[in-house]
Amino acid sequence: MASPIPRVAVAIITGGTRPGPLRDLLLSLGQQEGRGTEFELGVVVVDNASKAMVEDFSSILEGIEVRTVRESTPGIPFARNKSVQEAQEWGADVIAFVDDDERASSAWVSNALRAMNEHKADAVAGSVTYRFARDIPAWQRLGGFYDEPNYTSGAILPFARTTNLFVKSLAISQVGHPVFDEKLQFTGGSDVDFTTRLVATGARLVWSTEAGTEEDVPFERCEASWVLRRSLRVGNNIGRRAAKQRGLRGVLTCLAMGLPRVGVGSVKTLLGFCTGRAAWAGQGIRTAIRGVGMLSAPMLSYEEYKR
């Protein structure tokens, strides 16, 4: 018999390096408003560590079914595919993706489901608020390196990340297999690739500011070197998608995308520092580095997550 309320499975992948934040996330899931009346909640934790570290989280989430499984093949898309498989076997109507270093607001699930219903959406992307471990330079803080997009709730999106994402299980089934592209094993970007393909099937993806989470940014991610590497990787992923889809035309596309960004970004950086406008300087650096990543895409893949 079908459940009278939707079954929501929260899919979490972990590499075992953030046990404290993971416990905080699980505790926040146990405090979700509307659980048992508006929706049924389940949790899937996929261990993708180099050495098995799966533990029983049932004691943290009393009254919530928790599936803790291991995916031995390293790489985010393999772990994400395992989480989708487990969630669908549990009978999830909606699968919520969230990183293991975030905390969910108490109305996270209920607000996402409300947005899904109000906007007749197949998927909802929510906001992420960052809490920094230390002060960071103004150019870095204002340059858009950390900012999640902040649209008006209900805005239709062409793609989204899985840092905070709810998707109807039926819509996921229309994407094909594997759901997350396993060729992107270490490069990142499998979430943007997935949601782009999801939208291409006709699925409606909308934004919800109210379905929010928080993320603590540790010291190492406050370093300029980290944000620059991340920008390079994002640009490289964008370029690789273009090159893969269009062959030689893709190479030319990478040049057409990358060269203007390097040029415009460099000029904006110089103007920003010369005029004391930190936001301009940061945005210029981010644009230029992404352009470099796009230019490099036909020749190499930047594997940020290889271990």
> Quick one: which of 9, 85, 84 has its CA closest to 40?
9
Provide the token pair at 67.
């599936």
Q: Which residues of 204-229 are buried (b: 16+ CB within 10 A; e: fewer)?
A: bbbbbbbbbbbbbbeeebbeeebbbe
pLDDT for 79: 96
Concatenate the DSSP letters of all residues of 139-189 into one string: HHHHTTSSPPP-PPTT-B-S---TTEEEEEHHHHHTT-SSSS-GGGTTT--
Full-model pTM: 0.88
**13-49 tens-digit pLDDT:** 998 777 889 999 999 999 999 999 999 999 999 999 8
Task: Beginning with the edge strand found earlier in the chain, give each strand of the sheet holding 164-168 in spatial order.
Answer: 65-70, 40-47, 7-14, 94-98, 164-168, 123-132, 205-217, 102-104
172-213 confidence digits (pLDDT tens): 999 999 999 998 888 888 999 999 999 999 999 999 999 999
- DSSP annotation of 38 reads T
Name which residue leads in pLDDT, 115 or 62. 115
- Which pLDDT does position 34 carry in this prediction? 96
Q: What is the CA radius of gyration of the chain?
A: 20
> For residue 130, which of 185, 63, 210, 212 has the smallest C-alpha distance?
212
Collapsing DSSP to helix, strand or coil, 114 comes out as helix
pLDDT (0 to 100) of residue 91 = 96
Q: What is the pLDDT of residue 1?
A: 41
